[in-house]
């Protein structure tokens, strides 16, 4: 049986904003939680909001900035850039050894 909540489920930014639609800002984390519960947010969204930083949120954009900092949002790009920096340093050292 298909349900409306099945579509667009998960922790996508669009899904988070859907369950926070109509909230008044500024809002504290507890306000975000209450509003999401009132809108019958899915467990994934509730977990995400509950793990957000305890502070005042000035706008939905502010909420999305915090959402972007959550661990589930880390990508392979972050580790790849660290790896390439490390590789570049080690290659640079090797290159210096060849020039001596």
Mean pLDDT, to the nearest integer, of 63-71?
81
Which tops the pLDDT comparison, 83 or 51? 51
- Listing DSSP states for 49-91 in one string gives HHTS-SSEE-SHHHHHHHHHHSGGG--HHHHHHHHHHHHHHHH
Predicted pLDDT at 67? 82
pLDDT tens readout for residues 15-57: 899 999 999 999 999 999 999 999 999 999 999 999 999 999 9
How sure is the predictor about 10, in pLDDT bands with cuts at 50, 70 and 90?
A: low
Model confidence at 68: pLDDT above 60: yes
pLDDT tens readout for residues 89-99: 444 444 455 55
The three-class DSSP label of residue 27 is strand
């Amino acid at each position: 049986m298909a349900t409306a909540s099945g579509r667009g489920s998960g922790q996508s930014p669009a899904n988070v904003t859907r369950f926070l639609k109509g909230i008044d800002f500024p809002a504290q984390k507890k306000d975000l939680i209450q509003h999401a519960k009132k809108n019958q947010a899915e467990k994934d969204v509730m977990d995400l909001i509950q793990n957000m930083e305890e502070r005042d949120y000035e706008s939905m954009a502010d909420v999305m900035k915090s959402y972007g900092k959550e661990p589930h949002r880390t990508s392979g790009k972050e580790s790849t850039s660290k790896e390439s920096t490390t590789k570049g340093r080690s290659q640079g050292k090797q290159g210096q050894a060849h020039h001596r």
